[in-house]
Structure 1
Amino acid sequence: MKKRVEVAAGVITRPDGSFLLGQRAPGTFYPGYWEFPGGKVEAGETAEQALIRELDEELGIRVTSIRPWVTREHRYEHAHVRLHFFEVTGWDGEINDHVHSALSWEHADRPGVGPMLPANGPILKALRLPRWMGITHAADIGTEAQLARLDAALERGLRLVQVREPGMPRGELASFTGAVIRRAREYGALVVINQDCGLAHELGVDGVHLPAAELAWVTVRPDFEWVGASCHCRAELERAAELGLDYALLGAVRPTLTHPEREALGWDAFAELVRDLPIPVFALGGLVEGDMDAARRAAAHGIAAIRGTWFQS
């Protein structure tokens, strides 16, 4: 059995959303393949410390802003690696490569280089996932009001919508979801529907979102491009990862009007629950736009919200 090697990798991101990839040099494993910069975690180092050191050695930059993200494992012919991915959004110095054949700034939705190193490939899809999910509640505020608020949110930049309308009659739900899809597509936004895979197939939405209760009995990932789940504990998060889902929601981070009986997690507990997970996790529960930085420092991919989406001033 191969010993597991701990590796730190950096998603170095510019304000326009582009990220840096390096091409592996001749004489290394997988020469010519592209990867996120980083390297092996040495004895006595944390993964974060290792990445800061590696980026200094490989690229000549001094990291000033770094946030944990996801952790993935991969078995190569020569090694079993566990990659700790961090988002790097700030650094001092000019990028000057010392180890790769080439560097390239890329966008997840239109990568121009390849092939990707196998362990790094799934990260490209995760980077396509928007950072904010708006969750509908038309049953509470009315369909017209919800669609009007959706229009405003899409104009502000919302690019991921979960249609969640428990109790809404199926015909009404189909009509409402169709209206959401039409609006979202004008902006290139993704739409997932909560629970109803049949309706999701009928309407051609981008994916489905599974309630936590379904994770216990679902045996295979539903056949959609995007599939996520609501989770409340580590076991549910691990089950979502085992099924190969694209993301999870975890909460409530703060007390909410939707579930006032549920004890709030807080950011420390959230960070501990998502530690070393291979899929992105959205923070949920009483959060607003101003919480995004705190969420991402706690290793959240982003934020999912009902009122925090539709009732911004």
Structure 2
Amino acid sequence: MSRKVVNVAAGVITREDGSFLIGQRAPGTFYPGYWEFPGGKVEAGESPADALKRELDEELGIRVERLYPWLVREHAYEHAHVRLHFFEVPQWQGAVNDHVHSALAWVQPGHVDRSPMLPANGPILKALRLPRRMGITCAAAMGVAAQLDALDQALAQGLGMVQVREAGLDARERRAFATEVVRRAHAVGALVVINDDEALADEAGADGLHLPARRLAELTQRPAFEWVGASCHSREELERAAALELDYVLLGPVKETLSHPGQPALGWDAFAALRADLPMPVFALGGLDDADMTDARLAGAHGVAAIRSCWRTPRRD
């Protein structure tokens, strides 16, 4: 017998140093002692965003000034089937004070030293490790040496994720280039995914694999890499990526691009509608640069992926 789905709003409250807030559930509640993201049940007539604002005021004594829609995940607990609407909360007023939890803690992505966490939060913790900007290489167009120089500059200024997409290089050049990108990126802690080539991803020591839409349509199970993402252009492709439990997707083009002249652009409203209620982070793609980050986040994007603008004006994640 199916149970009624309970909608819950949860906040990833962040500080400028990248840390986020978690709370420990108090005795007398379900899962006492477990750590969770602050939030609570969406009441009748409330939107998830309004519910989160109310809950954070009640639980922590803070007033939300800005929030970004992010992920929606479902989880069947013993006591309830919940749909969790996660928002990122980068700006608020007031001092954080604990009103309902046993304890509060600020933790860094990838360094969460509190346990146990509520079972639904494992994928959320992994998603928070994803940088906000992805640079997509174009060495075949700009030249290998120029691309590596631009990569060094971008990495020095904080670029956190690189996708190697080089179908225009021959096999030997592509292998040497990918290996060098991985070496330089890993030296500063950045992630590297290889487009459409599992063997090269393994050989180069990359962190994962990026799937073009045609490969996504062919797969019946998730490839065996720590990080797997895909390029998507439709709701059907996005839902397929979700069913395969991919770690992220790219969705676009949001604006017209030089690489695809004349291809209709989505715009932010259509982007927001397509990505609504997805369980994994979505990067906005297509004619974007750092100046578009706020619009992207307001539309529910995890961040921005770019080709030319990334190598022209890199910024810190």
Aligned twin of 1:66: 67
Alignment partner of 2:201: what SS?
Answer: helix
Deviation sequence 1:153-179 (CA, Å, 0-9, x none): 001110100000113211110000011
1:77 Cα shift? 1.0
1:204 Cα shift? 1.5
**Amino acid of the residue matched to residue 246 of structure 1?**
D
Aligned twin of 1:26: 27
Aligned twin of 2:138: 137
**Once superposed, which parts of structure 1, at least 4 consecutive aligned residues long, lie more than 2 Å away?**
none
Aligned twin of 1:50: 51
Aligned twin of 1:114: 115
- CA distance in structure 2 between the partners assigned to 1:10 and 1:34 by the alignment: 13
Aligned twin of 2:256: 255
Verify: 1:195 aligned to 2:178, yes or no: no
- CA distance in structure 1 between the partners assigned to 2:48 and 2:257 by the alignment: 34
1:71 Cα shift? 0.4
- CA distance in structure 2 between the partners assigned to 1:122 and 1:155 by the alignment: 29
Alignment partner of 2:92: what SS?
Answer: strand
**Amino acid of the residue matched to residue 76 of structure 1?**
Y
Q: Structure 2: 5+ residue runs without aligned partners?
A: none
1:253 Cα shift? 0.3
Alignment partner of 1:8: what SS?
Answer: strand
1:309 Cα shift? 0.3
Aligned twin of 1:168: 169
- CA distance in structure 1 between the partners assigned to 2:240 and 2:266 by the alignment: 20
Alignment partner of 2:115: what SS?
Answer: coil
Alignment partner of 1:128: what SS?
Answer: coil
Aligned twin of 1:304: 305
Residues 76-225 of structure 1: matches in 2 within 5 Å?
76-225=77-226
Alignment partner of 2:120: what SS?
Answer: coil
- CA distance in structure 2 between the partners assigned to 1:243 and 1:42 by the alignment: 32
**Amino acid of the residue matched to residue 8 of structure 2?**
V
- CA distance in structure 2 between the partners assigned to 1:41 and 1:96 by the alignment: 22
Aligned twin of 1:75: 76
Alignment partner of 1:172: what SS?
Answer: helix
Q: What is the percent sequence identity of the aligned residues? A: 67
Do the aligned partners of 2:179 and 2:205 also contact (CA within 8 Å) in 1?
Answer: no
- CA distance in structure 1 between the partners assigned to 2:77 and 2:171 by the alignment: 47
Deviation sequence 1:179-204 (CA, Å, 0-9, x none): 10111011100000000011111222
- CA distance in structure 2 between the partners assigned to 1:232 and 1:302 by the alignment: 17
Aligned residues: 313
Q: State the Cα RMSD in Å.
A: 0.8
1:56 Cα shift? 0.4
- CA distance in structure 2 between the partners assigned to 1:165 and 1:218 by the alignment: 22
